[in-house]
Amino acid sequence: MSGSIPESATGRAETLAGIETALAAGQADGLAGPLAGLIAEDPADPRPYRLGTRALGMARAPTGDDWTALIRLLVGQQAPDQQAPDRPRILHHGLASLLTSGSRDTARRMTATILPALMPIDATSQGVALLLMVTRSILPSRPPGAPSQADITALHLRHFPALSAGDLALPYSVMFNAAAFGANRDDLLARYPDPARIPADDRLGLRHILLLDRLGAGPVFTAPDNADLADRLCGLDDDDDERAAARLLILRYWRASGVLDAATLTDLGLDPALLTHAASLPRPAPRARVHAPDLQARPRKALRATQNTGTTLLRMALPFLNRPGRKPRVALCVSGQMRGYRAALDTWRRALLPFAEFDIHIHTWSRTGRAAPHPFRAVLPFEGPRFCAEWRRIGTLDGYETLQARYPTLFAALDSTARVDAKTLQALYGARKVVVEDDDDPRFAGFTNQDRMHHKIAAAHDLAQDSDHDLVLRLRPDLSLKLPGFSWPDLHRACLARPVIFAEDGYGLHYRALMMGDQMAVGAPDVMAIHAATARTYPPLAALDLAGFPPALTGHVSLAGTCWLAGITVTKLPFRRGPLLESETLPATTIRAALETDADRRNDAHDRVLLTAVARDLTGQSARPLDRKTSPTET
């Protein structure tokens, strides 16, 4: 029977396997009843929740009593089991994943099916409250009795103190989708405007307090003697998530002159070695009292009006770019692979370099990171649409390995033109220092892409340490820039006033992880030294089992964790950016010469097709860098 489990399935394992087979075949209708029975039989087994969530997303008409029963069971899944307390509820996680991945239509369709099955809303159900928090940005037009946004806020604040670590991971993922989850953040910031004065009767755990801190509510422990933190630690139990949050908060807020000593931590069952780590953490220098300009309060209309103007018109349209006084001296530390560096540098010459005094330091790899010409790639490293189309077609038929064997000269040309050297870069950028490291050096054999990225950030920063600068700017070489929305003297004053980094994206949560932008960052030298040292300081911290600290260096996350522990604010830099730029394509003339060499004695049908395609492309199209909306993994 289509969409049903095999009639011979008598045991639980066979029933689950039959449902899995039906879903793999795209058949979800008829599965609601068996899935509801499986959940009712063993509510702690996560497998039918996963299968039920898949079935709900696939079913053509998920209506009727069986589907209503299944939906209520999925929404009402109890907080995660003791073996995995940080695991979020499965249906809720699935909906949150759809929203963060941009699949709003699918999430909206599922929510429109779920909501009627929950009517009337049970205000006492934590699962219902969490689902409404996750989907509040896509709720369908209100049927009778459906909750308003004010109702969802009330439910949110009512259930917030009881949310598990897994549940807390879902409704606050504002880093990449503030439109979906920003209302939940705003609820908490309005409820707890001063997190350092949270009433004890609010029953918030340390994981909740940590969340408030990371959402931007401000420092949560301000007592100079750590008395407030010590009071919160008194109730610490054996919950792993609470202890992970406790370790992180101790590292962030511990003061040597306070009441938290080794004996106190020992009594709490915490490793007193935490205090050694806390004492060794780098901290920014104390700040003098200076006026801190608001860099966000700039004429947005002018920014929009001058999106594509040159430097002269920029200065006329945006007078705040021409603040009187000395231009700040900035160490520009360029690190990473040199993908679209020539075209990106052209944008820097218009939107960046005229407005401050820059000393440029480059630490990069010998290979530019040009993408290999796999036929499945959306962007190929070749000039000419006709040649690219035929390359994809033939590569799909014959396979990538066959292309490599048939066209070694072409592949050699790709490799030789995808390399850089220090002399060329020094001349092009006018750089003070350039270091180009060999990708194949045995020292980097075990490096992940994230190891390589963080290594380069640190190495480029180290190059700038033999001279004085007002500011340090770290920048990816392939990032194109359009328009600054600030003056560099104002930026300098802002960085003197407090320990702050301005990045392309400020702090934001993505599930449980605190993140920040990792393409550009600018701040005072002491602050940027802490940022740049992440490759060295993060690994020993991650070994301490801290909340939201992955064990390995991770994009966006490791830099944010290092800066947050040091008490550094990270906020958005008002700078209109362009896309990340791909490496220059291999010119059609080079492609033709390589093909002629490779096909010299063979000249079969595929050779002739490719040669014909490149000949047709040689009608005036020029090589150009290609925009890349989605960043490849930076190294």
Cα angle vertex 575, ends 572, 580, to 5°?
100
Question: Do the beta carbons of residue 228 and residue 268 sit within 8 Å?
Answer: no
pLDDT of amino acid 627? 45
Task: Answer whether 341's CB lies under 8 Å from 511's CB.
Answer: no
Instruction: Return d(Cα 534, Cα 558) in angstroms, integer.
Output: 7
Of 151, 188, 195, which Cα lies nearest the Cα of 171? 188
Place of tokens 């209302």: 183
pLDDT at 55: 95
Two tokens, residue 44? 């702690």
Distance CA 467, CA 359 (A): 9
Closest CA relative to residue 130, chosen from 94, 100, 102, 106? 94
- Cβ neighbours of residue 143 under 8 Å, at least 6 residues apart? 115, 116, 119
In the block, tokens 């009608």 appear at: 619
Domain boundaries of the chain, sorted by first residue: 192-280, 300-369+422-579, 385-417+582-628
Determine the pLDDT at residue 79: 59
The H or E element spanning position 423 is: helix 422-429
Task: Output helix, strand, coil percentages for the chain, rounded to the nearest 5.
Answer: 50, 10, 40
Q: What is the pLDDT of residue 146?
A: 82
Extended beta strands in 422-495, E state: 433-437, 471-475, 479-484
Low-confidence spans in the chain with pLDDT less than 70: 1-10, 79-86, 141-143, 200, 290-293, 296-325, 620-635
Catalogue the E-assigned strands of 516-572. Answer: 520-523, 569-572
pLDDT digits (tens, 9 = 90+) for 545-601: 999 999 999 999 999 999 999 999 999 999 999 999 988 899 999 999 999 999 998
| Residue 418, both tokens | 């995808």
Radius of gyration of the chain (CA): 28
Helix 557-565 × helix 534-542 angle, to 10°:
80
Question: In terms of Cα–Cα distance, which of 131, 135, 113 is closest to 68?
Answer: 113
pLDDT recorded at residue 170: 94
Domain 300-369+422-579 has CATH 3.90.550: yes
Rounded distance between C-alpha atoms, residue 66 and residue 56, angstroms: 12
- Confirm if 130 and 163 have CB atoms less than 8 A apart: yes
Q: What is the pLDDT of residue 7?
A: 46
